[in-house]
Chains A and B, each alone.
Chain A
Amino acid sequence: MRLLSAAALAFTVTLPMTTHADEALDELLEARHGFYQMLAMNMGTLAGMAKGETPYDEATASRAAANIEALTHYDLPSLFVEGTASGQIKDSAAKPEIWTNMDDFKTKFGGLVEAAAGASEAVKGGQDKVGPVVGKLGGACKACHDVYREKS
């Protein structure tokens, strides 16, 4: 009986706590996905122009590139908190290797920061200016996805 009440107590004490911690991680994951969603929307704008699927518009291109530049000034790796790897939390595509190679993961993100630097100016002046920028940014996406993104 004592055991039972102890268990009940432990349950009632820990239950809200774990739920709280889970919620925090869920919010973190949501923020992360939001970050990539914004990155994707702006990348999509540039990629569409680079491929000629959408007509080139200097202001639109420059704004999309500026958004990407701005996004890369956010400290993305800080959103990769322990407990948010794939398998640990629903919908995460982050490979556990990120946490065992955090320095390299940060270097990979640094690659994106570098690729994005000056992009808002680089895409000005014509449709042919967009391709090389998308190539550089896409290369940075790929370098990280190849190693740290779950394919599912």
Chain B
Amino acid sequence: MPKGAPSPDPVREVRLWDPFLRGFHWALAFFVTASWCLGQFGPAKMTLHFWCGYVVIGLLLFRLVWGFVGPAPARFSHFLRGPGAVAGYLRGLMLREPSYWPGHNPLGALSVIAMLAVLAAQVSSGLISDPDDYINVGPLASYVSSSTRSKAVGWHEFGANIILILVLLHVAVILFYRFWKREDLVRPMLNGRKQVRDR
């Protein structure tokens, strides 16, 4: 609870994240982790990795649609803000108090977009990859030139590193909110309920 001077609006608990969005989030977390690990440590024949990738494509398409027709907190128009809003949010970032933000905050929104964009690029490069081993080939590899098929393998490997960095950043920031700002962001993604302050 903020103490002292002006506390404009009271903090209240709302249903923030709808069940579909939460389902999307945890399914994406699971299938991205699974694909990543299968790609890195899995069997030479990457059938399971491929299927995980197809599920991720489905999930990304869902999120794209949900970003236009879903409930307000899920909509891109609701959480995508300009640089001014991001700078404003950054000013209060280090305060040792919860953000009580009702949704993706302006800075977190950038992270959301970055993760979705990188994943979209990653599934695209995967679909057209041909590592020339005769057991794994992206289903759309035959539609691009042989040099593109081969380069795509390199992009896919590079993308995997970017995804690792973004996911670690995501987890690190959640820990930062939990222990520095004393705000639990995991529970709202589990039960949908979050303490927010209107603004």
The interface residues of chain B lying within 8 Å CB-to-CB of A44 are 134
B135–A143 touching, CB < 8 Å: no
B44–A139 touching, CB < 8 Å: yes
Cα–Cα distance between A83 and B168 once the two chains are bound (Å): 39
The interface residues of chain A lying within 8 Å CB-to-CB of B134 are 43-44, 46-47, 134, 137-138, 141
Cα–Cα distance between A135 and B47 once the two chains are bound (Å): 12
A141–B133 touching, CB < 8 Å: yes
B154–A152 touching, CB < 8 Å: yes
Cα–Cα distance between A135 and B154 once the two chains are bound (Å): 22
A142–B135 touching, CB < 8 Å: yes
Summed over the interface, the residue pairs from A and B with CB atoms below 8 Å come to a total of 48
Residues from 34 to 58 in A contacting B, C-beta threshold 8 Å: 40, 43-44, 46-47
Contact of A134 among B135, B147, B153, B157 (CB under 8 A): B135
Interface residue? B192 (CB, 8 A): no
The interface residues of chain B lying within 8 Å CB-to-CB of A152 are 147, 150-151, 154
Residues from 105 to 146 in A contacting B, C-beta threshold 8 Å: 134-135, 137-139, 141-143, 145-146
Interface residue? A151 (CB, 8 A): yes
The interface residues of chain B lying within 8 Å CB-to-CB of A43 are 134
B157–A143 touching, CB < 8 Å: no
Cα–Cα distance between A43 and B135 once the two chains are bound (Å): 10
Cα–Cα distance between A137 and B134 once the two chains are bound (Å): 8
Interface residue? B198 (CB, 8 A): no
The interface residues of chain B lying within 8 Å CB-to-CB of A151 are 150-151, 153-155, 157
Interface residue? B161 (CB, 8 A): no
Identity of the chain A residue whose Cβ is nearest the Cβ of B156 in the assembled complex: A151
Closest 8 A/B residue pairs (Cβ)? A151-B154, A138-B135, A139-B44, A141-B133, A142-B133, A47-B134, A138-B134, A138-B133
